[in-house]
Chains A and B, each alone.
Chain A
Amino acid sequence: MQNWVKGAVIALVSIAATLAISQMLRSPVEGRTPDVNVPRTAGGKPDLNGIWQAVGSANWSLLDHQARSGPVLELGAVGAVPAGLSVVEGGEIPYQAWAAAKQKENYENWLSRDPEVKCYLPGIPRATYMPYPFQILQTANNDILIAYEYASASRVIKMGKVEPPPVDTWMGQSAGRWEGDTLVVDVTGLNDQTWFDRAGNFHSEALHVVERFTPVSPDALDYQATIEDPKVFTRPWKIQMPLYRRQDKSAQVLEFKCVEFVEELMYGSLRKKTGTEQPYTPARLRWP
C-alpha cells in the first residue's frame, strides 16, 4: 500500500475515534438543558415511559444529614442512617416558628409518628424519592400513570384542565401540562397526614405542590418540586434531584404490599393468644 494511503487511513480512523470518544465523554446527566436526544412519542413529546428511581437519601431527610446510628441497637450497621446532602434549594426549609418546633418534636417521635412506619400512602412529593422504583406509563393521547412500588400507591396525572378536587386525599389530585419538554404537574387536594421524609418534615392540608419532570438524557430526568403551604411555611421552597432510569433489562415494579408487615405492630396487642405464636424478642430502642 502506498504510504500516503496508509497515512490517510490512519488520519481518518483517528478522527473517527476522537469523535467517538468526545461523544462518549459528553456527560449524559450533568446540565439542565433539555437534551435533543431524549426519546420522544409519535406526537413529539418526551417519552417518559420506563421504570425510574431516585438515588440518594432524601427520604431520610430533605436537608443535609450526616450518617448516624439507627433506632434499633440490634440492627447495627444494617439499621444505620446514611448521610446525604440537602435537596432543598438554599439548604433550609422556611418553617414558621411554631412549625419548626413541631418538626423537631416529629423527629424526636419519629417511629410513632412517621406514616411510612405504618405503611400509609406516601403523598406527593415523598412518593418520588422513597427507596423504591416507580413506573411511568405514558399513554399516546392523554393521561399519564405513575405506579409506585411502595404500598401499591399510584396516581393518574390528568392532562389539561381539571375540576378542583372534591375532597382531600393522601395522594392528592394531579393535573399535568407540557411546558416545552417539561412535564409540569400541579398537585392539589392533599391531606395533612403525610410527611416529606423520615426527619419529621411536614405540611398542612393547604399544601400545593408543583412538580417539573424534565428529561436531561435518555436515562435521567431532572425532578423539581415547588412546595407551598402558607399555614406552615413563610414562603414557597423548592427541592431538586435527578431521577434515574432503571437499566436492568428485567426491571419491573414488584409487589411491596407492606400492610402485612405492619399488622403485628398495629394490632398485635389485640390478637387472641394461643400459646403457639413465635414470640418477638424485645429489641433495644433509642431515638434520637
Chain B
Amino acid sequence: MKALTALVIAMALAAFVAAAAQQQPAPASTSQAAKNWTPPRTPDGQPDLQGIWTNYTSTPFEVPDKSDTPDVYAGDLDGTGRGTGPSSFLTDTSDRKLAKARSLVVEPPSGRVPIMAWAEERRNYKLAHIQDDWVNFTPWERCITRGVPGGIFPAGYGSGYQILQGPGYVAIVYEMIHEARIIPVDGRPHLGSSFRLWNGDSRGRWDGNTLVVDITGYNDKATVATNVATQRVRAIPQSEQLHVVERFTRVDENTIDYEAVIEDPKVFTAPWKVAIPLHREPDYQLFEYACHEGNRAVPNTLSAGRAKDREARAGAKSR
C-alpha cells in the first residue's frame, strides 16, 4: 500500500510538473541562431552533425483535443492501464528540463495531423485486435522497426541517436531497435520501384548547412508512428505513396533542429510537419535494444487471445 501511495504521489507530481511546464512560453525561433552559428566541417566538406543526440521532450505529439480517446490509442480497451508501451514512471523524460512547445506537430497550424477517417477506423480496428494476429501490432511491437521518420519521434526511453559521417555518407545509429540507417549524400538516384521497404529508401543532399533527406519506396505494411507517445497518430496505416522529406540543421553546438514533412495522399488530406529538437548529450550511452530477441509481448498477447477463445467456446458449450 505504501508503495502504491508513493506511486500515486509521484504520478500526481509528474502530472503537476508537466502541467506547469506547459505554461512556459514556446522557445524563440532558432533560425536567427542558425544564421549566426557556423557548424564545423568534416574533412570531406560536410557540415558536421556527428555525436550522440537525444530527443527527450515533454511536448505532446499533437495538440490535445476533447475528442481524443487515449485508451483506444494505447491499445488498452479493457481500461487496465496496461496498454502497450512503457508506463510513464518507466520513462526518464520527466526529470529533464526541456524546452516546451504546444505540440511536435507544427503544420498544419492546428497541431493536429489531417488523418482521413478510413485510416482512423483502420487504426481502431487493428489496435482492438492485437490479440488476433501480430500484423495488428505496429512494427515497433513486432520489433521490426520504428520506421523513418517514426524512429525519431520521442518514445520516452531508448532515446539515443549517434550520427557518424564518412565520405559520401551520413549514418544514424538509432538506439531503439538497433537501427543503423545509412544515408548516401553522393547524388545517387533512388532504388527501383520494385523495392518496397519498411524504412523506405533514403537519399540525402546538403542544402547549405542542412542535411535534406528524401525518402520514398515505402511498403504499405508499416505505420508512420508506432509509440504510445504519438497518441492518435500511432498505428495509422500508410500507403506505398508515402513520401517523407527530413531536414537536419545543426543550429548550435548542442542542438540539431529536426523536421520531417510527411505526405501520403491516400492517408492524410494534406502534408503535415513535425519539428523535434535533438540535444547533444556526449555522455549518454546507447544500449543494445535487442527487441525481437526478448519479445514476449507479441506471443503473450496472442496467447491471451487464444485463452479467451477457449473460454468463450467452453462457455457456449455449458449454456
Q: Which residues of A contact B (CB under 8 A)?
A: 41-42, 49, 118-121, 135, 137-141, 143, 145, 147-148, 152-154, 156, 166-167, 169-171, 193, 250, 252-255, 257, 259-260, 263, 266-267, 270-272
Contact = CB atoms under 8 A, between A and B. Distances in A.
Contacts of A153: 178, 180
Contacts of A49: 166-167
Nearest to A148: B180
Contacts of B177: 152
B145 A257 contact: yes
Interface stretch (B18-26, B263-271, B292-300): B292-300
Given A137-B164, A270-B306, A272-B132, A147 B171 contact: yes
A255 B133 contact: no
B199 A255 contact: yes
A119 B288 contact: no
Contact of B144 (A120, A135, A156, A257): A257
B225 interface: no
A152 B288 contact: no
A137 B287 contact: no
A189 B281 CA distance: 23
Given A120-B290, A156-B162, 8 more contacts: A153-B178, A253-B182, A255-B199, A257-B198, A260-B144, A266-B299, A267-B134, A272-B306
Most chain B CB within 10 A, of A120, A170, A193, A255, is at A255
A271 B182 contact: no
A166 B287 CA distance: 10
- List of 10 A-B pairs having minimum Cβ-Cβ separation, nearest first: A154-B180, A270-B302, A147-B180, A169-B288, A272-B132, A137-B166, A140-B43, A255-B197, A259-B292, A145-B164
A42 B42 CA distance: 11
B54 interface: no
A169 B166 contact: no
B169 interface: yes
A263 B131 CA distance: 14
A120 B143 CA distance: 11
Contact of A170 (B133, B169, B198, B288): B288
B91 interface: no
Interface in B268-298: 285-288, 290, 292-293, 298
Nearest to A193: B293
Contact of B164 (A139, A167, A193, A254): A139
A41 B287 CA distance: 29
A137 to B, nearest CB: 4
A139 B20 CA distance: 42
B180 to A, nearest CB: 3
Interface string B122-151: 000000000111100000001111000000
Nearest to A153: B178
B114 interface: no
Contact of B173 (A119, A121, A156): A156
Interface residues of B, number: 45
B39 interface: no
A263 B141 CA distance: 12
Nearest to B42: A140
B188 interface: yes
21 contacts: A120-B290, A120-B292, A137-B165, A137-B182, A147-B182, A152-B177, A152-B180, A153-B178, A154-B178, A169-B288, A170-B293, A171-B288, A255-B197, A255-B198, A255-B199, A257-B144, A260-B142, A267-B299, A267-B302, A271-B302, A272-B302
A171 B175 CA distance: 13
A266 B302 CA distance: 12
B71 interface: no
Interface in B174-208: 177-180, 182, 184, 188, 195, 197-199
A152 B43 contact: no
B305 interface: yes
Contacts of A137: 164-166, 169, 171, 182
Contact of B290 (A141, A170, A250): A170
B50 interface: yes
Contacts of B298: 263, 267
Contacts of B287: 167, 169
B192 to A, nearest CB: 10
Contact of B171 (A145, A259, A263, A266): A145
A48 to B, nearest CB: 10
Nearest to A260: B144
Contacts of B121: none
Contacts of B302: 267, 270-272
B309 interface: yes
B161 to A, nearest CB: 12
B180 A145 contact: yes
B303 interface: yes
B166 A152 contact: no
A219 to B, nearest CB: 16
